Structure 1
Amino acid sequence: MSERNPVRSFGKLKSLFPKAEDVDPEQLERVARLKERYLADKPELDPDVAAYWA
């Protein structure tokens, strides 16, 4: 095990990620608006996608 890259537990790694309360409220509002717009205009899947997934 390298001292530069120590093995960390899942809990430790999870604690390093930002939480919703860490995000700027203006950014959360912007994301909510973009999500709403995307879901309203969401294009249909290309029929070739299902064959690719298979």
Structure 2
Amino acid sequence: MVDTIGIPGAGRVGSAIVRTTIAAGYTVNIAGSGPASDIELLVDIIVP
């Protein structure tokens, strides 16, 4: 069974997918083309 999902993109769609997959119990890896600090901020907001 897959227990980790990678999400390419940390924008609106990517962040919605991240929230859904975390709620379903998956481990999520996020990749983005912007600065790492922007992705870190997104993770700080989304991850409970």
TM-score, normalising length: structure 2: 0.32
Larger relative contact order (Cα-Cα within 8 Å, sequence gap ≥ 6): 2
TM-score, normalising length: structure 1: 0.28
Larger Rg: 1
Q: Whose helix fraction is larger, Structure 1's or Structure 2's?
A: 1
